[in-house]
A and B are shown apart, each in its own frame.
Chain A
Amino acid sequence: MTVRLYDYPLSGNCFKVRQMLLWLGVDHFSVPVDFHPGREHKSAQFLEQINPLGQLPVIDDEGFVLRDAQAILVYLASRYDTADHRWYPADAKLRGQVAMWLAMADEITRTASAARLHDALGYEHLDIDACRRGARAAFRVLDDHLAEQHAATGLRWLAAAPEPTIADLACFPYVALAGEGGISLDEFPALRRWVWDFRHLPGFVGMSGIFPAGPA
């Protein structure tokens, strides 16, 4: 089985899928899409044949095609994390929490990722101040949750589980890249701690803009 991934190196959403495939040990290869400057993801051919929403990532798993980073994480974890079931746990409460934080990942994309597209790729037709305000509001919710949950239970990940889940992977990249959109993480100490913990997970490879942990 080999998964084809329509990919772009600076996309945090594509990073989520690349990292999940690596952690699950799934064979895969990337098909580079000229996201910038070519806007190939908005071309007629891409819209018709790959994703009518004109977005990355998209996977094609031996004919099974799926778009949307969070949906892809749910599929990959459900299909390939068959030994541990820790990336997408079956317990009802945990699964509910994971879904809740996957929705937060969409909010982070809407705000922090958009701010980064504005600053780095010149996307001008969005309200940059609203994006940054929205990102800070989302980050405060995350920081409060992580700080309070850790004090109460000693747990460090978004869902109330001892191991990270796809919820953490989904929320991680655009938090880690927030500075590139003009959003500082200075005021979120628990969130900064979570970013550090995630970067230091075994097998974390990072992406351009997020350093993996080097050898000590």
Chain B
Amino acid sequence: MNPSAASQAWHPVAPSAEVRAGANIVAGFAQGQELALWRAADGSPQAWENRCPHRSVRFTLGQVTGGDRLACAYHGWQYEAGSGACVRIPAHPAMPAPRNVCAKVFATADAAGMLWVRLEADGPPAPEELADAVPAGWHLARTLTLRVAASEVRGALAQHGFASAATPDAWQGTLGESPVAALLLDAQPQLSFLHLWTDAAPGSDAMARLHLAARQLRSAIEAASSH
């Protein structure tokens, strides 16, 4: 199956279940871009540049408030889900919100149990094959992080018998005898995330062996890395 160009634009930044409606803000990374990931109370996913437009403090220090707003930790400025527009400045409660102050918002999509983000403003919509990145009914074993560039991880996965599948960075292979779908995220120049999905049951011996094999794979890849 040839991955479409559209799917290359979408990055699997976090498991969907890790970003909870109206609750937490998770730091996300994609190709060196820092993101603040959160959901409004209605579950709609938000991926914003991790920087308040007031004084550039990271949004990840703040909190979700009122169900559909993100409040910055520094001066409490509030930004609404969807548009990212600033809707409240506590220092001037009676003043109407300024129209030109807006968080930078990236397009998001939930598919195959993952939250995906597109960095290009005018890029392609989320293609259907994202949903095929993980077989239905599989469980997340864990997100593994590796201190190497994504390009090195791709080469290593191929060497370890993984095959590239539906989307360019969805790899299929085996860890500890269990089948695995490994979704690769190019997080930072020397940091990659590998979201490992499997049909092994949670709490099973197979899952435990998968976890061990994952750590061994990480050691092998990092040891072989030139950095």
Contact = CB atoms under 8 A, between A and B. Distances in A.
The answer to whether A and B touch in the complex, with CB atoms under 8 Å apart, is yes
Interface string B1-32: 00000000000001000100010101101000
Nearest to B139: A151
Interface stretch (B63-71, B79-87, B88-96, B106-114): B63-71
B140 A151 contact: yes
Given A147-B143, A151-B141, A186 B73 contact: no
Q: Which of B73, B142, B147, B187 has the most CB of A within 10 A?
A: B142
B203 A153 contact: yes
Contact of B61 (A188, A189, A211): A211
Main secondary structure of the interface of A (DSSP, over half): helix
Given A148-B211, A151-B141, A216-B65, A192 B191 contact: no
**What secondary structure prevails in chain B residues at the interface with A?**
strand
21 contacts: A147-B143, A148-B211, A151-B140, A151-B142, A152-B207, A152-B208, A153-B202, A186-B29, A187-B147, A187-B191, A188-B145, A189-B18, A189-B143, A189-B193, A190-B143, A213-B63, A214-B63, A214-B71, A215-B65, A216-B22, A216-B66
Contacts of A213: 63
Interface in A145-167: 147-148, 150-154
Interface in B12-62: 14, 18, 22, 24, 26-27, 29, 61
B142 A190 contact: yes
Contacts of A85: none
Interface residues of B, number: 32
Interface residues of A, number: 22
A150 B147 CA distance: 23
Interface string A176-216: 00000000001111101100100000000000000101111
A129 interface: no
B215 interface: yes
